[in-house]
Structures are given as C-alpha cells and as structure tokens.
C-alpha cells in the first residue's frame, strides 16, 4: 500500500499505478532528494521539533541508502510511486520509528520542487563547463590555423574574405552569451522551496533559512504557494538550452556544408564520420546532422513544459509531475551533443588551399573597391553604382575584376588610379578590415590571445 493510504479502503488499480508512477525516471534525482532530506532532518533537530538522536539515526540511514543507490543495490518499488516515497519507506525499514519523523513539516510538493532546483543547479554547472570545453576546442582550431582565409557568406553566396579563425570565434562569442544566460538563470534556480509544505507553509517552527544555508541556496522563496506551483526556473533553463541547441545546430550546418564535396573546406577524422550501408565510397558528417536533428527535441521539451503549465490553477497539480522527462532528455541531449562536437573538433582539419582558392575570387573585393572610392571623397551610393557598372563590364567580357585594365576600369570609374588594380587580393582585403570586431589578422590575433588568456586564468 502507498504511504498515503490512511483513508483508503482499497489499493490503487494497476493502471492507476502505471499512469501515476514516476519512479521509473525520477530515480535519477536521488542524490538531491537525499541531500534535501538530510538538511531537513538537521533543521528539525536544531529547532527541537524532533530529538537529536532521531535526526542522527535519520542521517545515518540516509547515508546507508545512498550507498545502496550508488552501488545499484537499491530495490525500487513502483507501488511507492516516486523517489521520495521509495527512499522514505526504505529509511523506515532500516531505522524504524525515527524514520517516520523525517516527513515532519514537509510535503512532496515542496520536496520535489527542492530536489529539482538542486538538480538544475548541478546541471547548469555541468553544461556551462561543457560549453567552455567546446569553446576551447573552437579556439584551438582557430589558433592552430590563424592565417587561413576563407570566403565569408551571406545568403550562402560568397560575400567577402574572412579568416577561418574569425568564423570560429563567432561561435565562441555566441556560446559565451549562452554561458552568461545560464549563470544568470542559476540565481533564480538557487532559491529554497522547502518549508512551503503542501502550499500554505507549516504550523511547526521550521527554520527555512537554516535549510537554505545547509543546501547552499542563495535565498528562501518568499511565497509558499509560488514555491510549490511554479516551474519557471525549469522553463528558463530549457529556454537557455534551446538557444544553446540553436547555436550548435548552426555550427553543425556550417560543418556539414564545409565537408561537402562542393566546398571541401574541412576534413573530419574517420572516428567522427560514418559510412553508408550501400555506397562504399561514402563518408558522411552524421554527427553534424544529428546535432542539427536533436535540436527539435530540446525545443520540444521547452514547448511541452510551457504547455503543461499554462492552464494550471494554483497551486500544485499532478500535471507538474510531467515536468521531468522532457527536462532530463533535453539536458542529456545537449550534454551528449556538446561532448561529441568537442571531441569531433579535435579531428577537424581545414583545407587551407581550398578555402584560399575560393576566397581569391576578385569579385569578393568589390566592396573594397567601392570603399577606396569613398576614401577619394566619392559618396558611397555613387561608388557602389560605379563599381557595379565595372563588375557588369567585366562579366560581359568574360574576365575577372583582377584581369581588367585601368582603361576598362576608367570607363565605369572615372577616378580610378593604378593602386586600385592591387585591391583584388584576399589577404589585402582582410588586413584592411582593421577595426574592433573586424577580420584583420591583428584583430583576430588579439581576440585569440584574449580568449587564450581567459581560459588559462580559469585553470589557476
């Protein structure tokens, strides 16, 4: 019979058990459930609500249960529904009467909210660390190939030459904002629900500040109904993970494009590519594709939890039990993808020759020519027009911009001077973009060393 069976004359139907159990997945919260229970027991004794000897027995019993769970010896019972009742029931089995005092002044409603916040705090720290590792891998690839030039794209069309490292550092920046968001979200996660009871607090002299300190929470949630009813901290975390996934998915798409035969900008190690069961010649970037594909599940978890909450009257409703599986899946997915991409990056080699060749198309320097005219005092719109005419004239003759003579150039650009003929070099083009955030090698080198120093300092 369940632990709440006092007023019932018969046990639940088998289907009821199947629909209501959460032990099959909330078991992974056990370290946090144990942590929360230990803090609660200490507080109960500190406040004189239960005898100190009982608290000591409870703490010893929880330790023993932790051992059983860590070693995989704990026997989970579906009829006990969830991780809270499985642990409490085992505790009473082990230590007898004192075990029955643990749930004093506590409800599973404030208990699960506490467990989840401890879990989320732990996962935020893990994902931030894994994001950092991925940033380091991006940085290393850029740093090892700091001179490689490639075409930058808009509309997936060649736009202007950029450094390969500049492209990689763009992701380092995006992921840094993801890390900041997670750090910010951590403050809102890191508040204590326990003491809220089922919804209205307790008639017992509980000490919530004591428990908060014991569990390392920054604050105590100030409204007992809010504490048990909301899950906005989980939603915020999922939204942050959705953004991480979106960034990883875009990176994966870049890699898949770079790895295609048409581009052939990068090589990927055999261990991180896969073959075809039919076509013997194939080497596919499946890890990039799966990264892209897994993004949908993470967005799904966010939508699912938002939807679960939208119509719920205050306070706790059993619907809230549905907050877990999507959350667990999302965080596991993001973590696995992050670790795989980090490992994959260490096998990625740019094909600098191919990239340089693609970036050498003189038309990529058309903007540079227009800006040279601006430096002569020509209004930009007029400069843009003149260069456009010049591009048209070259195209009509079937030559590249770099093959044009000064005479031909002058037909479209009356103020053209011989130096303009030297503009059509990718290296010249990137070097000229020497401003904050630009792709000039000196700027990129400064960014690389800034990040390098930052990673170094964190080690100390």
Q: Which is nearer to ligand ARG, 112 or 131 (CB)?
A: 112
Nearest distance from C-beta of residue 21 to ligand ARG, angstroms? 9
Q: What are phi and psi of 241, to 5 degrees?
A: -65, -35
Q: How far apart are CA 132 and CA 339, in angstroms?
A: 11
Q: Which is nearer to ligand ARG, 217 or 316 (CB)?
A: 316
Nearest distance from C-beta of residue 316 to ligand ARG, angstroms? 6
Q: Which is nearer to ligand ARG, 320 or 370 (CB)?
A: 320
Strand, helix or coil for residue 150: strand
Count of residues making up the chain: 460
Binding site for ligand ARG (CB under 6 A): 22, 82, 108-109, 112, 316, 318, 320-321
Which residues does the annotation mark as catalytic? Answer: 155, 276
Using CA atoms in the order 170, 176, 177, 179, what is the torsion angle rounded to 10 degrees?
150
Q: Enumerate residues 6+ apart whose C-beta is below 8 A from 11.
A: 1, 2, 5, 79
User: Taking a C-beta distance cutoff of 8 angstroms, is the pair 106, 40 a contact?
Assistant: yes
User: Taking a C-beta distance cutoff of 8 angstroms, is the pair 199, 99 a contact?
Assistant: no
Nearest distance from C-beta of residue 83 to ligand ARG, angstroms? 8
User: Taking a C-beta distance cutoff of 8 angstroms, is the pair 272, 347 a contact?
Assistant: yes
Q: How far apart are CA 188 and CA 38, in angstroms?
A: 23
Q: How far apart are CA 366 and CA 395, in angstroms?
A: 13
Q: Which is nearer to ligand ARG, 315 or 360 (CB)?
A: 315
Nearest distance from C-beta of residue 217 to ligand ARG, angstroms? 20
Q: How far apart are CA 115 and CA 126, in angstroms?
A: 17
Burial (CB < 10 A; 0-12, 13-18, 19+), residue 312, is middle
Q: How far apart are CA 32 and CA 34, in angstroms?
A: 5
- Closest by CA to 314, choosing from 232, 235, 227, 237, is 227
Q: How far apart are CA 151 and CA 158, in angstroms?
A: 6
Q: How far apart are CA 284 and CA 286, in angstroms?
A: 6
Q: Which is nearer to ligand ARG, 324 or 433 (CB)?
A: 324
- Closest by CA to 215, choosing from 77, 117, 325, 340, is 117
Four-residue CA torsion sign, 229, 233, 237, 240? positive
Q: How far apart are CA 6 and CA 450, in angstroms?
A: 64
Strand, helix or coil for residue 35: helix
Structure tokens that stand for 37 in this block: 């229970």
């Amino acid at each position: 019979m369940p632990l709440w069976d006092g007023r019932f004359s018969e046990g639940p139907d088998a289907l009821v058990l199947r629909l209501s159990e959460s032990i099959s997945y909330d078991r992974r919260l056990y370290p946090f459930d144990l942590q929360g229970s230990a803090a609660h027991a200490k507080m109960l004794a500190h406040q004189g609500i239960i005898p100190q000897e009982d608290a000591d027995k409870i703490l010893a019993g929880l330790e023993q249960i932790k051992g059983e769970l860590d070693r995989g010896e704990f026997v989970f019972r579906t009829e006990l529904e969830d991780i809270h009742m499985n642990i409490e029931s085992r505790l009473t089995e082990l230590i007898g009467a004192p075990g029955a005092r643990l749930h004093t002044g506590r409800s599973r409603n404030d208990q699960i909210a506490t467990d989840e916040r401890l879990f989320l705090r732990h996962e935020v720290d893990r994902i931030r660390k894994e994001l950092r590792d991925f940033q380091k891998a991006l940085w290393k690839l850029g740093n090892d190939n700091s001179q490689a030039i490639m075409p930058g794209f808009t509309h997936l069309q060649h736009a202007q030459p950029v450094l390969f490292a500049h492209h990689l550092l763009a992701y380092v920046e995006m992921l840094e904002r993801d890390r900041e968001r997670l750090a910010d979200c951590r403050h809102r996660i890191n508040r204590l629900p326990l003491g809220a009871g089922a919804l209205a607090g307790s008639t017992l002299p509980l000490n919530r500040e004591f428990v908060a300190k014991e569990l390392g929470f920054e604050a105590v949630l100030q409204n007992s109904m809010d504490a048990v009813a909301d899950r906005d901290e989980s939603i915020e975390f999922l939204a942050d993970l959705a953004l991480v996934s979106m960034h990883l998915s875009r990176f994966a798409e870049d890699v898949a494009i770079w790895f295609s035969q048409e581009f052939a900008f990068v090589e990927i190690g055999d261990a991180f590519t896969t073959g075809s069961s039919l076509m013997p010649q194939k080497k596919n970037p499946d890890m990039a594709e799966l990264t892209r594909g897994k993004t949908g599940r993470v967005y799904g978890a966010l939508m699912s939890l938002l939807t679960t909450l939208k119509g719920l009257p205050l306070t706790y409703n059993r619907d809230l039990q549905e907050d877990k599986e999507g959350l667990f899946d999302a965080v596991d997915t993001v973590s696995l993808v992050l670790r795989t991409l980090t490992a994959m990056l260490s096998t990625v080699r740019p094909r600098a020759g191919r990239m340089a060749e693609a970036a050498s198309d003189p038309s990529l320097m058309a903007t540079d020519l227009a800006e040279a005219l601006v430096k002569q005092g020509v209004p930009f719109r007029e400069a843009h027009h003149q260069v456009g005419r010049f591009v048209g004239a070259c195209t009509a003759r079937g030559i590249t911009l770099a093959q044009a003579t000064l005479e031909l150039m002058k037909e479209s650009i009356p103020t053209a001077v011989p130096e303009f003929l030297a503009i059509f070099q990718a290296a010249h083009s990137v070097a000229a973009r020497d401003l904050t955030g630009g792709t000039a090698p000196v700027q990129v080198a400064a960014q690389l060393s800034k990040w390098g120093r930052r990673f170094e300092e964190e080690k100390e």
